[in-house]
Chains A and B, each alone.
Chain A
């Protein structure tokens, strides 16, 4: 039988790497929103470039998971569910990094054009999403299923803000069609944040799976068709 110490050490390394990746995504998201708010194109360009670092880290982490699976057999029960879930979670984090990059790109596209509306709700959405993400990854690394069940409730706040931004932008576009270009970009920014919150829910589902072995959706209200 293998030595548990080696497997435990490997798993702890993977968890540490998740925390690093998470903090990169959180920082990119908050900075992208700040850049958008302040027309800070230089920062936005940097965030855009630095997404490469998130992607590279994701692949390294995935590779480390595969090496762990290959070299530390048997990996079973909670260990197996955890390593398989780490693979899922790193994928979610990488995708969230892409959303942050998308917001940075929107910032560059808007450039120094004045905003067609004050950016208040989008930064609020960002704060909630990043807080959700931070707590979700924390729950994942602590294997805290209770906490993981609570976090997706905040998705309602994000959805409500998204609806608000959406309605507001529609009205602005109706009133002045010259705003359509920027309104569309801002809608994308809000949409990216709304999708991020859904991916946080996926991380929470993985946490519950690791702890209990139950695999199910926490809430299907993120199904876009459910609102149609």
Chain B
């Protein structure tokens, strides 16, 4: 089942730096889709289209189709100006490259979103704290100090806290923009391992920080170059037998 259907998507920034040119792809639910390629290729732009973070950027033109499908495959037109962006972002969460923890306790970091959304029931909040920390593979490390400041956590723990914070709201999709670029290898392994678990329940779209991470994590991978989708194929094949010469040259480190 598809989670996103994107057709002929074109995005143009005012500075013309990064854009998308007629990109079409279908992103399946409950799997990890990796968007990779050299800087300026359009992968982060696509990520930001999917939960309308581009609303805050200087986009001069956006056209084409980008639909988010629910479990009944009912489409939501992401690009429609009438779409409720808050509701969209609740369904489509985002984790950024640098962990941004709120200057609060670990517990409050996790309950903040739910409280803002109106949840006051203490037991339900506690349940969300534990569930989301477990899903982000952080529970065992912090369960005895939930009331300590989140900023005291290590970088890897902070990033998993950010992941947990987005999971607390039970979104359908998690977008991750180079989520482990600042992490040590062990923390990176933990985040990647938790993504493999999370894909059972969520749709994950990842912009990796390296080709190796792309190869390790991708169920399917899309290679972007200068705003174009060059190749979109299962992770099992694109890194071993890429069909396009440009994909091959990139994964072999001939440019980028």
**A→B interface (CB under 8 Å):** 1-2, 4, 7, 73-74, 76-81, 213
Are the CB atoms of B253 and A1 closer together than 8 Å? yes
> In the bound complex, how far is the Cα of B214 from the Cα of A73, in angstroms?
13
Inter-chain contact B240/A77, CB cutoff 8 Å: yes
- Contact A213–B241 (Cβ < 8 Å): yes
Asked if A78 contacts B252 (CB within 8 A), the reply is yes
User: Footprint of A on B, CB under 8 Å?
Assistant: 210-212, 215, 239-242, 247-248, 251-254, 256
Q: Which residues of B contact A78 (CB under 8 A)?
A: 248, 252
Looking at the complex, which one of A1, A7, A73 makes contact with B256 (CB distance below 8 Å)?
A1
Cross-interface CB contact of B251 among A4, A7, A74, A213, cutoff 8 Å: A74
Residue among B212, B239, B241 with max Cβ neighbours from chain A (10 Å): B241
Cβ distance A88 to chain B, nearest Cβ, rounded Å: 15
Contact yes or no, B239 A77, CB < 8 A: yes
**Chain B neighbourhood of A1, CB < 8 A:** 211, 253, 256
A196 to B247, CA, bound (A): 37
Q: Closest CB-CB distance, A198 to chain B, in whole Å?
A: 26
B240 touches A2 (CB 8 A): no
Instruction: Write out the residue numbers on chain B whose beta carbons fall within 8 Å of the beta carbon of A74.
Output: 210-212, 215, 239, 251, 253
A7, B254: Cα distance in complex, Å: 11
What residue of chain B has the Cβ atom nearest to residue A79's Cβ?
Answer: B252
Q: Which of B210, B241, B256 contacts A81 (CB 8 A)?
A: B241
What is the minimal beta-carbon distance from B232 to any residue of chain A, in angstroms? 16
A4 and B240 contacting across the interface, CB-CB below 8 Å: no
Q: Is B252 a contact partner of A77 (Cβ separation < 8 A)?
A: yes
B239 A76 Cβ-Cβ under 8 A: yes
Give 25 CB contacts A-B under 8 Å. Answer: A1-B253, A2-B253, A4-B252, A4-B254, A7-B253, A74-B210, A74-B215, A74-B253, A76-B211, A76-B215, A76-B239, A76-B240, A76-B251, A76-B252, A77-B240, A77-B241, A77-B242, A77-B247, A77-B248, A77-B251, A78-B248, A78-B252, A79-B252, A81-B241, A213-B240
